[in-house]
Amino acid sequence: MKVNKFIKSKIERDYFFVTGKLDIDTEYFINQTEKGILANKNVEPNFKRLGPVLVTEPTFFLKDKKFMTMILEFSDMIEEENFNEGRSWEIAHGWGLKQAYTHHTRFHNHFPSLISGSIMLNKHPQSLYFPDINEELKSEPGNFALFHAMLKHGNTERNDVDTFRYGLAFNYNIVNN
């Protein structure tokens, strides 16, 4: 192999990052997440991509009417703010997660999705950190972030308490017509 040029650098790019708080039935979603984790064929922590974290199937909550109704608020915001850049899109994923003692989420992004979101379900000292933009989503019931899927995010530290951290995550993908 002959390499003529090798460049590894950073470029500026447009992104969006929205945080807020939802009025959410956290008990319902925690219970559903527990059911989904038990139903998932991979009930052991997912160490491959995310680090040690228990998850439902990626599309588990797409069949849940309460989840889909809640997500409609985000869908409206996406269209109003043109986060979809004028392209057709669909809700592609909706899953629940549970982080036990010593668990954490490795830094990752959700490419090739365009838009991603995270919703916290319980109060917990572990938060979700976005190193590219130095933003943090605190674990408080109903706290959410809607963000460009290319933004890296994860936990800076492992769960160091004996309580679980629960959350929901979702992705919007572009539909090629």
Greater model confidence, 71 or 49: 71
Q: Are 133 and 151 in contact (CB under 8 A)?
A: yes
Residue 47: pLDDT above 90? no
Mean pLDDT within 45-55: 59
86-98 burial code (b ≥16 CB/10 A, e <16): eeebebbbbbbbb
Domain boundaries, the chain: 17-110+151-174
> Within 10 Å of residue 163's Cβ, how many Cβ atoms?
14
Mind listing the pLDDT tens digit for each residue in 83-112?
Answer: 888 889 999 999 999 998 888 888 999 999
Mind listing the pLDDT tens digit for each residue in 105-141?
Answer: 889 999 999 999 999 999 999 999 999 999 999 999 9
Residue 44: pLDDT above 50? no
Tokens representing residue 98 in the block: 């549970």
The pairing of strands 143-148 and 89-99 is unpaired
Q: Are 122 and 169 in contact (CB under 8 A)?
A: no
Note the pLDDT of residue 41. 64
Q: Are 92 and 123 in contact (CB under 8 A)?
A: no
Residues with Cβ within 8 Å of residue 96, at least 6 apart in sequence: 29, 32, 33, 36, 37, 55, 56, 60, 61, 166, 167, 168, 169
User: What 3-state DSSP class applies to 7?
Assistant: coil
Q: Give the pLDDT band of residue 52 (cuts 50, 70, 90).
A: low
Q: Are 145 and 117 in contact (CB under 8 A)?
A: yes
Share the mean pLDDT of the chain.
Answer: 90
Note the pLDDT of residue 146. 97
